[in-house]
A and B are shown apart, each in its own frame.
Chain A
Amino acid sequence: MSHIIDLDHVSVTFGDLHAVSDVTIKVDKGDVYGVVGYSGAGKSTLVRTINLLQLPTSGTIEIAGTTFFKDGVAQISGKELQAKRRNIGMIFQHFNLLNETTVIENVAFALKHSDLDDDAIEKKCYELLDLVGLKDKAENYPVQLSGGEQQRVAIARALANDPEILISDEATSALDPQNTNQILDLLKRLNKQLGLTIILITHEMDAVKKVANKIAVMEHGKVVEQGNLRDVYLRPKAELTRQFVGGSLAAADTLRSFNLGELSDNEQLYQVVFSAANVTKSIILELYKQVGVDVSMLYGNIEVLGDEPVGTMFILVTGTPAQQAKVTKLLKSFNVEVSPVDGGILA
């Protein structure tokens, strides 16, 4: 199946600076794809290649079946590109609304080249404002609105041409936590209701954790890790990912504070990951009853990834190698993901 966004070996260089180097990202229709990284990692530059606001240096860009860029040259330009861009909505950190025009005029601006007549445009604008819950603010000017409301107007504007794709460039970074949550909830709702494919650039892991199903982590213009949110989140491989995930850092800190020293030969540390909704049995009790091992829980945490509550535990099991093998087997039979952790994490 073809991808709605297909970035293949894309690089962007500014003189000597490799803003984006050799990035390959495939996004399926209906995905909420989080791109995480610190500022300067090249996230914004990368996503701007999707609508060719930024021309790449090399690579191939294919959006919704149209080749935008190939063999070092843009494959579409001018009028055609303008038309295609209307299929890709974009929202920004600082909203970028037109401050001298009212809320409804801002939305209508996006429909300037649509086939709709004036009445239909007005009707559509009200529908869009209704969708983001701002119908009663249509005649206000942007500065009269809060940051969260301005971002919702920007979302209404970005959706005016019924795009298949929405790019969110740090859209919640300038907002307070309450507004951030409202915007993320709205994005999630739009993803479900309209089947909108969303690219979410952010430096806040919490935002990605809340709405994304896939994630790419960027550093120095490169993608250091990508995959399903759950996999990347629970078992981060790259050091940077660990920093963003934070959870496993907190776990490591907690574990270290136990000062357990060297583990003895019959002690083994495990990371246990489970979907909290599915696991009803008491894992620790079952391990004791069925395998007869002594289990200490050193760290436990439940996070909500997307809609799914996911639990992470670190347990220390004391038992013979044969018992340890049974532990792994039993846990797997409970639909629990288990991986032995090197005792070095405790040092």
Chain B
Amino acid sequence: MSELISKYLPNVASLGWTGDSGWGTAIFQTIFMTFWPAVVGGILGLVFGLTLVLTKEGGILANRVWFNICDKIVSFFRAIPFIILLAFIAPFTQLIVGTQIGTTAALVPLSLGVFPFFARQVEVALESVDRGKIEAAQALGSTNWDIIFDVYLSEARAELVRVSTVTLISLIGLTAMAGAIGAGGLGNTAIAYGYNRFNNDVTVVATLLVLILVLIVQLVGDWLAKKLNHQVR
């Protein structure tokens, strides 16, 4: 196997597994940069998405001020291209994680880059919950917390898994750009060690690895969404 790789993909083999430029390191970095922003951006996105739906006109906590604040924050961060966001919030990144470069530094802009996207997706997912169900719960004397957890989040859970899958995949895409601030990852391998050095085999292999990662996320997401959904016979 390794002989075959050395013969047909010499540049791929020369990068090795470990070390700064190693494949293992790159894969780990990509997963690392996907996981933490997914957690932080996921929570932020869920909170903002929920707030948007609840405070919207006609929502159970309708409040123009809160809605507008959330709506503007989400729109603002969504409007900034990610590559610019990386640079734009560098001082803030320094404040939070103590450095402006490297894999850890990328976590902050990645979280901020992914949360508005997720917030909008959550908003759409929660709005798919029929108003009638909310009304029925209110008529039963449910509290707002009941409605949030037992109606909105519970009824939309398959849809939430689906939008999380989409978000996770787009987040994997964003990690490729984090190479610009020295964060490494498979995207960086494809550009820095592949494209820039005319090592096409490295580019192809890095791309394939990203594809495999995306495929795994997609398959798990689809399986989970299907398992959680009882709305269709």
CB contacts (< 8 Å) of B130 on chain A: these are: 94, 96
**Given contacts A88-B139, A96-B130, A161-B141, A112 and B151 within 8 Å (CB-CB):** no
Task: Report the separation of the CA atoms of residues A288 and B219 in the bound assembly, to the nearest whole angstrom.
Answer: 87
CA gap between A144 and B146 in the complex, in Å: 25
Q: Does B94 count as interface, using CB distance less than 8 angstroms?
A: no
Are A83 and B141 within 8 A (Cβ)?
A: yes
Query: Contact mask A297-331 → B, CB, 8 Å, 1/0?
Result: 00000000000000000000000000000000000
Pairwise interchain contact A144-B233, C-beta atoms closer than 8 A: yes
Stretch at the interface among A97-105, A203-211, A245-253, A276-284: A97-105
Which of chain B's residues have a CB closer than 8 A to the CB of A188? Answer: none
Of the candidates B139, B150, B230, the one whose C-beta lies within 8 Å of that of A90 is B139
Q: How far is the CA of A142 from the CA of B154 in the complex (A)?
A: 14
Number of chain A residues whose Cβ lies closer than 8 Å to a Cβ of chain B: 33
Query: Is B14's CB within 8 Å of the partner chain A?
Result: no
Instruction: Report the bound CA distance from A110 to B150 in whole Å.
Output: 11
Give bound CA distance, A90 to B138, whole Å: 10
Q: How far is B224's CA from A3's CA once the two chains are assembled, in angstroms?
A: 52
B150 to A109, Cβ gap below 8 A?
yes
Distance of A167 Cα from B230 Cα, bound (Å): 28
What chain A residues lie within 8 Å of B212 (beta carbons)?
Answer: none
Contact with B along A235-271 (1 / 0, CB 8 A): 0000000000000000000000000000000000000
Q: Is the interface of B mostly helix, strand, loop or mixed?
A: helix
B146 near A112 with CB under 8 A, answer yes
Contact between chains at A53 and B138 (CB < 8 Å): yes
Least CB distance, B115 to chain A, in whole angstroms: 25
Report the nearest A residue to B231, measured CB to CB: A99
Q: Which residues of A contact B (CB under 8 A)?
A: 51, 53, 81-86, 88-90, 92, 94, 96-101, 109-110, 112-113, 141-144, 154, 157-158, 160-161, 167
Report whether B139 and A82 are in contact in the complex, using a CB–CB cutoff of 8 Å: no
Q: Could you give 9 example pairs across A and B, Cβ below 8 Å?
A: A53-B138, A82-B141, A85-B138, A96-B135, A98-B154, A99-B230, A101-B154, A141-B230, A158-B139
B141: chain A residues at CB < 8 Å are: 81-86, 113, 161
Kindly provide the distance from the CB of B181 to the nearest chain A CB, expressed in whole angstroms.
Answer: 42
Q: Does B133 contact A (CB under 8 A)?
A: yes
Please, which residues of chain A bring their CB within 8 A of the CB of B137?
109
A90 near B231: Cβ-Cβ < 8 Å: no
Q: Which residues of B contact A161 (CB under 8 A)?
A: 140-141
B157 contacts the other chain (Cβ, under 8 Å)?
A: yes
Q: B residues 128-174 with Cβ under 8 Å of A?
A: 130, 132-133, 135-143, 146, 150-151, 154-155, 157-158
B192 at the interface (CB under 8 A from A): no
B121 to chain A, nearest CB (A): 19
B15 to chain A, nearest CB (A): 47
CB nearest neighbor in B for A88: B139
Which of B132, B155, B233 sits near A100, CB closer than 8 Å? B155
Q: Please measure, in the bound complex, the distance between the C-alpha atom of A100 and the C-alpha atom of B225, giving whole angstroms.
A: 12
How far apart sit A101 and B141, CA to CA, in the bound complex (Å)? Answer: 18
A53 touching B230 by the CB < 8 A rule? no
Known: A98-B150, A98-B154, A100-B231. A92 touches B136 (CB 8 A): yes
User: Complex formed: what's the CA distance from A316 to B90 in Å?
Assistant: 97
Q: Which residues of A contact B139 (CB under 8 A)?
A: 51, 53, 85, 88-90, 158, 167
In the assembled complex, the CB of B21 is this many whole angstroms from the nearest CB of chain A, namely: 47
Residues on the B chain within 8 Å of A83, using CB: 141
Question: Is the C-beta of B85 less than 8 angstroms from some C-beta in chain A?
Answer: no
Please give the distance in Å from A112's CB to the nearest CB on chain B: 6
